[in-house]
Structure 1
Amino acid sequence: MEEQTTSTSQRPKVLLVDDEESILNSLRRLLRGQPYDVLLATSGAQALEILAQQPVDLVMSDARMPNMDGASLLAQVRQRWPATMRIMLTGYADPTAIIKAINDGQIHRYISKPWNDEELLVILRQSLEHQHSERERQRLERLARVQNDQLKLLNSTLEKHVAARTAELQQTADMLDLAYEELKHSYVTGTEVFSLLANLRLPPAKQTNRQIIELVRGYSKAHGLDEATSRDLAMAAALYNIGKLSWPDTMMVTPSDLLHSAERERYRGYPKQSESLLMTLDPMKDAARLILHHQERWDGSGFPDRLKGEAIPFGSRLLKLAVDFVELQRGLILERQMNSDEALLYLRQYSGRLYDPELVEDFIQVCAAFLSDITLIDPDVKVVTTRELTAGTELARNLNADNGMLLLNAGKVLSAPLIEKLIAFEAMEGGKYQVFVKVPQDEPGLLQAEG
C-alpha cells in the first residue's frame, strides 16, 4: 500500500478520469472557480501514473473505458491509496459494474450521466468534507496516544500535571465523539443523495423514497425514538429498494400482484440483494438488517425468512407500514392506485396479518399529522358500505371502482336511485366499496371502518 499525505493547508486535488475529452472539458469548466486543483486523465493507466507521482484527495472515474474500466481502476486506487475518495460516473444502468465498484472499489458515491451540476458539486464537497473529518479523527487519535504516553511518564511525580493532562484527554475524547457523529451524519446524507439518483430509474409518479423517509422521520420524532434508531430508519427508508436497480424498466413499474411467477421470485429476492449491497459499509449494517426483513409479515407469511410477530425487528415492521402505504398510492402493489385514506384502510384491514397491530394506529396518527389529504380520522367524515348509504348523503372523497374507474366525484349528493345503481354495479363487479361520506351535523363522531 502506497501512502499519500496532503497538507491541510493545501487545496484538495481532484483527479477526473474519462476517455471522452468532451466530458473532461465539461467537468473542468464546472469546477472552475471551485477551491480544488483539478487533474485530468483519459485512461486508467494515465490516472495510475498521476497518482504514483503526487498525492490526490479524490478520484472521479467514468465506469466504461477501454482497457481498464472504472470499477477496476477504483479497485486499484482503494488497494494502493485507500485514503483517496472514490466516485464512479456512468451514463448507463449497469448493476454488475455498480456492484463491482461497491464491493471491490468501495466507492463513496455513484453519479449518473447526465449529471445535475448542483448535485455533483454538493457530492464533491461532501466527499472531501468526509475525508477531512476522517483525517482529523485519525490525527486526534494519534494525539491522544501521544498524550497518554506522556501522562504515564508524569504520573509518578506530578499530580497536578496528571490532572491537566486528564482534562486535555477528556477534551480530545469529546472532539473524537463529535468527529464520529459528523461522519455518521454524512452517511445519512449520502444515502439520501444516492436514493435520489437511484429514483431516476422510475417516472416521477412511481418514486417512493422521499415520502417514506419523511414518514419514518415523522414517526421517530413523534414517538421519541433514540438518535441511532432514527438514523438507521432514515437510511433504510432511503435505500430499501436499491436491490431493484438490476430489474428491467417494465418490472420496476409493474404492481407486485401482477408479476408472473419468474418475476415474482425475483421480486422476493430484492430485500436480500439490497442488504448484500450495503453490508460492506460498516455504518450501514444495522440499516441493512432492517431492509432485509421489511417484507416479513406479522403472521409469518412474509419473506425472506418467514419471521413472525416480534421476531421481526421493530424498524422493519415500521418500514413495511411506510413502504406499503406509499407503494399502494403509487400503484406498485395493486393494479389500482389508492388514495391516502384507502391505503390507510388497507393497513387497518390487514392489521394482525401483514402488520404489527400495535403499530398500525400510531402510524395512522403520524400520517394524519404530516399529510394534509388524510380524512380518515376527520370527525366530520365516516366510512360506510353502499348498503349503509342514505339519500341526501354527500361524498367526502372521490369514489372509484376496484378497476380504478372514477364512479362519482367528491361533493356529489346521493339520491335513492343513484344508491341503487351503485349497489347493482358493485355486485356486478364483485367488489366491496368503502365510501367516504360527510357526517350530518346532527350525527357527530367518526365511524371506524371494520377490518
Structure 2
Amino acid sequence: MQEHDAPQERPTATLLLVDDEPHVLSALKRALRREHYRLLTAADGEQALALLDTESVDLVVSDSLMPGMDGAELLGHIQRRWPDCLRMLLTGRADLKATVRAINEGHIYHFIAKPWDDDELRLTIRQALAHQQAKREQQRLEALTQAQNRELVELNANLEARVAARTQELQQVADMLDAAYGDLKHSYVTATQVFSSLLNQRLPRHLQTNAQVGDLIKAFAETHGLEEELQRELMMAAALYNLGKLTWDDHLLSTPAQRLFAREQTAYRHYPETGEGLLMTLEPLQGAARLIRHHRERWNGSGYPDHLQGEAIPYGARLLALAVDFIELQRGMILPRKVPRQDALDLLRKFSGRVYDPALCKSFVALCIEQAPDLGLAGKKVLSLPPRKLEPDMTLAQDLHSPSGMLLLNQGKALTRQLIDKLIRLEELEDTQLSLLVHPPEAANAEPHLAQSERNP
C-alpha cells in the first residue's frame, strides 16, 4: 500500500513502514508527515517484500513481533536482497534472543523502542539517512578514485606538472574517504550505546551502571590520550560489559557478589565469557568482546576466566575493571552494602598491586578525584531539579531514564517548554518523581558546582 502526501518539496527519501497494527502505522505516518519523505506501508512481511520488488526504498522500519514472518526474519531477507536499504527494528520489549538474532541476520542500523518519542524518532531517521548518504558518497568516491588511478596509468610520464596536480586531487579524495570511514566506525559506538539502553530494561534501575562506567572510560581516554581505536573499543565494552548477566535470573542479578553461594559463584564467573560469545559474531565488536572477556582478570593472576597476570591482561580490560568496580561498589553490587564514593576510591588503592594494575590504578584514582566524570559535572554548573522547576534553554547534564530504565532524553538535549510539559505529564501518569541534572543557560563558563541532593552518589 502506498501513501501519497502532497509535500511542497521533492521527497528526500522513500521509507517503508511495516506493522500489523494499523494504529501504529498511522502514528508513524503522523510523526513523519512533515519530513518530506515518500511513505510506503505494509501490514506484514510478505507485503513488504512485494513492495520492495517494485519500489526503490531507502529505509525500512519494521515491528519486531508480527504474525507469520517476524521483524528479524524480514530484515534478514532485506539485508540479503537489498543490502543498501537501511533497516530499523521497532520493538516493545527487550527480548535478548530476538535482539541478537536481528543484529546477526538483519544487520540492523538502529532500535526504536515502543512507545517512541516523535522528536527522537525523526532525529534517528534523519541521522540514519545522513549515514546512508555518507556511505553512498564514500562508494562514489571510491569509484572515482579507481577511475582516476586507471587514468594515471595512461598519462604521459613526462607531464610532471599534470601528475603533481592529479596527486594533490587524489590526496583530497583520500582524506574525504578517511573521514567517511571514521564516521562509519563511530556509528558502531553509537549503536552499542542504543543497544545498552534497550538491554537496561531487563535490569533494575540501580543496576544500570553502563552510563557511569562509560563516562569514566571516556574521561580517562581523553585525559591520557589513548589511541582512537582503543577508545572506540573501550566505549563499546563499557556499554555492553554486563551483557552476559542478562542470562541470569532476578535473584542472581540482585544479590551482591560476596553473598553468592558456591554454585551461584560459578554462574557469576561465566558472565564475561557469555558476553564475549554473544558479540564475537559481529566483527566490529570483536575488540570490545576481548576486553569484556578479560575485565575480571586480576593483576596477581587470581582472576578469571583465564587467570592472566600483570601486563598479559589487555590494557583496556585493566582500565574497564577499575571503572566497573568503582561504580558497582557504590551501587551495592559487590559488597552487601553500598560503599560511599570516597571509601570506594580507598578500596581501589588498597587492592592496587593485587587486583589492579598499580600504575593504572593511581592514574584512575587521581582522575576520579580531580575531574569526577562519574558525577556528570563536565566542568559546568549542574542543578538537580524536578520537572516543574525546569526552564526552557536548560540542557541535560546526564541521560534521563524512565523508572523502568528506558532512555527518555539524551545528555546535551536542550529543554523546550513542550518537553518540560511532557515530563510533568509523565510524572503524573507514572505516579513517580523525576529529578533531572541540568546545566542552566548561563553555565557555559561557570565553575563546577553540584546541587546538594547529588553530593552523595
TM-score calculated relative to the size of structure 2 = 0.75
Partner of 1:351: 352
1:339 and 2:337 are equivalent in the alignment: no
1:262 CA displacement: 4.6
Judged with a 3 Å threshold, the aligned counterparts in structure 2 of structure 1 residues 18 and 372 are, in CA distance, closer, same or farther, namely closer
1:264 CA displacement: 3.4
What are structure 2's unaligned runs of at least 5 residues?
1-9, 376-457
Judged with a 3 Å threshold, the aligned counterparts in structure 2 of structure 1 residues 201 and 105 are, in CA distance, closer, same or farther, namely same
Partner of 1:317: 318
Q: How does 1:52-451 map to 2 (within 5 A)?
A: 52-156=53-157, 158-371=159-372
Residue type of the alignment partner of 1:170: Q
Distance 2:69 2:266 in 1: 35
User: SS of the counterpart of 1:216?
Assistant: helix
Contact 2:212-2:374 within 8 A present in 1 as well: no
Partner of 2:18: 17
1:356 CA displacement: 1.2
Distance 2:333 2:257 in 1: 6
User: SS of the counterpart of 1:104?
Assistant: helix
Residue type of the alignment partner of 2:26: N
Judged with a 3 Å threshold, the aligned counterparts in structure 2 of structure 1 residues 124 and 263 are, in CA distance, closer, same or farther, namely farther
Residue type of the alignment partner of 1:310: E
Partner of 1:414: none
Judged with a 3 Å threshold, the aligned counterparts in structure 2 of structure 1 residues 266 and 41 are, in CA distance, closer, same or farther, namely farther
CA shift digits 1:167-195 (9 cap, x unpaired): 21111111111111122222222322332
Q: Considering only CA atoms, is the larger Rg found in Structure 1 or Structure 2?
A: 1
Distance 1:373 1:134 in 2: 35
Distance 1:311 1:158 in 2: 55
The answer to which of 181-190 and 252-261 deviates more is: 252-261
1:309 CA displacement: 1.2
Contact 1:94-1:246 within 8 A present in 2 as well: no
Residue type of the alignment partner of 1:101: A
CA shift digits 1:202-251 (9 cap, x unpaired): 33333211111111111112222222222222221122122333434443
1:285 CA displacement: 2.4
1:149 CA displacement: 0.6
The answer to which of 69-78 and 263-272 deviates more is: 263-272
Contact 1:201-1:249 within 8 A present in 2 as well: no
Distance 1:249 1:57 in 2: 41
Distance 1:22 1:260 in 2: 49
1:372 CA displacement: 8.8
Distance 1:127 1:261 in 2: 47
User: SS of the counterpart of 2:90?
Assistant: strand
Distance 1:279 1:358 in 2: 30
Distance 1:211 1:373 in 2: 5
Distance 1:269 1:120 in 2: 37
Residue type of the alignment partner of 1:197: L
User: SS of the counterpart of 1:331?
Assistant: coil
Distance 1:17 1:250 in 2: 38
Distance 1:261 1:28 in 2: 54
Judged with a 3 Å threshold, the aligned counterparts in structure 2 of structure 1 residues 126 and 302 are, in CA distance, closer, same or farther, namely farther
The answer to which of 156-165 and 144-153 deviates more is: 156-165
Distance 1:197 1:92 in 2: 8
- Percent identity at matched positions? 54
Judged with a 3 Å threshold, the aligned counterparts in structure 2 of structure 1 residues 106 and 259 are, in CA distance, closer, same or farther, namely farther
Residue type of the alignment partner of 2:226: L
The answer to which of 32-41 and 340-349 deviates more is: 32-41
Distance 1:135 1:264 in 2: 49
1:118 CA displacement: 3.5
Distance 2:184 2:193 in 1: 15
Residue type of the alignment partner of 2:371: F
Distance 1:123 1:188 in 2: 15
Judged with a 3 Å threshold, the aligned counterparts in structure 2 of structure 1 residues 155 and 257 are, in CA distance, closer, same or farther, namely farther
Distance 1:246 1:36 in 2: 40
Judged with a 3 Å threshold, the aligned counterparts in structure 2 of structure 1 residues 113 and 255 are, in CA distance, closer, same or farther, namely farther
1:305 CA displacement: 1.7
Distance 2:168 2:373 in 1: 52
The answer to which of 42-51 and 91-100 deviates more is: 91-100
Distance 1:53 1:373 in 2: 51
What are structure 1's unaligned runs of at least 5 residues?
1-8, 375-451
Contact 1:202-1:253 within 8 A present in 2 as well: no
Judged with a 3 Å threshold, the aligned counterparts in structure 2 of structure 1 residues 24 and 268 are, in CA distance, closer, same or farther, namely farther
User: SS of the counterpart of 2:34?
Assistant: coil
Judged with a 3 Å threshold, the aligned counterparts in structure 2 of structure 1 residues 116 and 249 are, in CA distance, closer, same or farther, namely farther
Judged with a 3 Å threshold, the aligned counterparts in structure 2 of structure 1 residues 84 and 373 are, in CA distance, closer, same or farther, namely closer
Distance 2:262 2:42 in 1: 47
Judged with a 3 Å threshold, the aligned counterparts in structure 2 of structure 1 residues 85 and 269 are, in CA distance, closer, same or farther, namely farther
CA shift digits 1:119-156 (9 cap, x unpaired): 33333222222222211111110000001111111133
1:51 and 2:41 are equivalent in the alignment: no
Distance 1:373 1:129 in 2: 32
Partner of 1:435: none
Partner of 1:442: none
Residue type of the alignment partner of 1:208: T
1:268 CA displacement: 2.4
Distance 1:85 1:262 in 2: 44
Distance 2:245 2:301 in 1: 23
Distance 1:260 1:110 in 2: 37
